[in-house]
Amino acid sequence: MANAVSSNPNNLPLPPGSFGLPFVGETLQFLFDPGYLARRIEKEGPIIRTHILGRPCVMMNGPEANRFVLSTGMKHFSWGEGWPVTFREILGRSLFLQDGEEHRRNRKLIMPAFHREALRNYLSSMEQLTLRYLDKWVVKGEFAWFEENKQLTFEIASELLMGSKPGDDVARLSRLFTELTLGLTSAPVNLPFMTYGKALRARDDLLKHIEVAIHERQQNPGTDALSLLVMSRDEQGDALSMTELKAQALLLLFAGHETTTSMLTSFCMSMAQNPEVWAKAWAEQESLDIEGPLTLDAIKQMTYLEQVLKEVERLYAPVPGGFRGVVEPFDFNGYHIPKGWMVLYGIPAAHQDPAIYPEPSRFDPERFSPERAEDAKMPFSLVGFGGGPRICVGYAFAQLEMKIITSYLLRQYTWELLPGQSLDYVLFPTLRPKDGLKVRFRRLQ
Ligand code: HEM
């Protein structure tokens, strides 16, 4: 106790809130009640004390809190000590869980796989796979879009990030990833019939597959991201080790498709619910007179589509926030946060702040027009991809992929939502409409 007092020189109180039930704290509400956070913020304000996933935690919300966690106060935090044990075990020593020099070196070695030249090489593969799925969707006619988007983004990720070829067992790999993802939010009990045990087996199978692909790239490098990772060298001329390569490739595959799936699905839903926005996005595509394969230049001109995607990011951010471990105690907004706690910065609260985004629940891409630029009023108010020095490394990859897919959807296809489905959103394992967004889909005449 004396220790706690001496590390709290300003004698500030802990944030308001409660630690909930013994042992479980408020973990169940956090995981399964989509309205939990918003209710807590309304009652207690943006900085809230709780107990989730086995640890005391402060949930920090709003642009000021985002700025502190993502940029100005970073020295107080560790990523490795922040993420729950399930993430640490399943995702291994990958970028998500690294700190300091180890993180700096690995991030630098990974970045060439996401530079403009690399993206230029990815464009055609993304486009070809998209066309294949569009044909398949026309034949199907009716389907649940979340699962379909997931297969498409997984094929793109496994071809570009791991060099899988058509005909490889992508469906099996995708199933393994679903098992891996379910394990992240399960109880960490490693028994073969438990969700977590299955997730660890799935991780081992995926790592074996990735190791074979790495060996192939070492013999025969190509232009996919895995080849670029294999060839990348640090300032000393050293490459990533096999263990590092495997962990980073697994993370990129994981981070690179579930999130994009979620945003694409929300885009498809938002178009069907906002016909005037859909018409305007379609008109922009028509005005570009695109014939034949897409180019980076044509994609750059899709400025209204960019606004639409930002509005989807604002209202349906796939990732609800990020965990950090407190390695140095700190004071924020009149509260003291002790060492050893967990911090969860929340993404949706800033996106819903009426002082930044008037009528925040309205789907209105014009808020991101150059004239209104509502997100520019306050730094760290649009953080669907994180922010600061550790902003999402896959940002440009995801934007390119989403623009290719949505450009084709807008120009050549139409869809309507099927009746009798729930459009309520579930948060885990990935943000999505409960019934997966069931649609009727056809080619425009
Ligand atoms: C719509 C798509 C995506 C969304 C919404 C998204 C969101 C995010 C967010 C919020 C963070 C920061 C988390 C935090 O601060 O704790 C992040 C980090 C990261 N993302 Fe993404 N992401 C997307 C796509 C991708 C893709 C396509 C890749 C890779 C191919 C990727 C790889 C990563 C990695 C490796 C990090 C960790 C960066 C670091 O710690 O230095 N993401 N992403």
Which pLDDT score, from 0 to 100, does residue 428 have? 78
Backbone angles phi, psi at 196, to 5 degrees: -70, -40
Mutation probe of ligand 1 site: the residue of 122, 125, 392, 404 with most atoms within 8 A of C-beta: 392
Q: Which CATH superfamily is domain 2-443 in?
A: Cytochrome P450 (1.10.630.10)
C-alpha distances out from residue 215 to 162, 219, 292, 379, Å: 11, 6, 36, 43
Which pLDDT score, from 0 to 100, does residue 145 have? 97
d(CA 175, CA 221) in angstroms, rounded, equals 27
Whether 92 shows a pLDDT value over 50: the answer reads yes
Which pLDDT score, from 0 to 100, does residue 24 have? 84
Under 8 Å CB-to-CB from 322, ≥6 apart: which residues? Answer: 69, 82, 344, 345, 386
Question: Distance from the CA of 384 to the center of ligand 1, in angstroms?
Answer: 9
Ligand 1 in reach of 153 Cβ (< 6 A): no
The pLDDT tens digits of the residues spanning 303-317 come to: 999 999 999 999 999
* β-bridge mates for residue 417, sequence order: 439
Query: Degrees (nearest 5) of the Cα angle 254, 29, 35?
Result: 90
Pick from 363, 357, 385: nearest CA to 269: 363
Q: Which atom of ligand 1 is nearest to the CA of 401?
A: 27
Which pLDDT score, from 0 to 100, does residue 185 have? 84
Letter for the amino acid at 260? T
| Average pLDDT along the chain | 93
Question: Distance from the CA of 291 to the center of ligand 1, in angstroms?
Answer: 32
d(CA 23, CA 18) in angstroms, rounded, equals 13
Ligand 1 in reach of 259 Cβ (< 6 A): yes
Give pTM, 2 decimals.
0.94
The crossing angle, in degrees rounded to 10, of helices 116-140 and 395-412 is 40
Whether 168 shows a pLDDT value over 80: the answer reads no
First to last CA, the chain: 73
Q: Which atom of ligand 1 is nearest to the CA of 253?
A: 30
Question: Distance from the CA of 401 to the center of ligand 1, in angstroms?
Answer: 14
The pLDDT tens digits of the residues spanning 116-140 come to: 999 999 999 999 999 999 999 999 9
Pair type for strands 55-61 and 342-346 = parallel
Q: Which atom of ligand 1 is nearest to the CA of 161?
A: 30
d(CA 92, CA 45) in angstroms, rounded, equals 35
The pLDDT tens digits of the residues spanning 312-336 come to: 999 999 999 999 999 999 999 999 9
Where exactly are the structural domains of the chain?
Answer: 2-443
Whether 206 shows a pLDDT value over 60: the answer reads yes
Q: Which atom of ligand 1 is nearest to the CA of 383?
A: 10
Q: Could you say which DSSP state residue 222 is in? A: -
Letter for the amino acid at 378? M
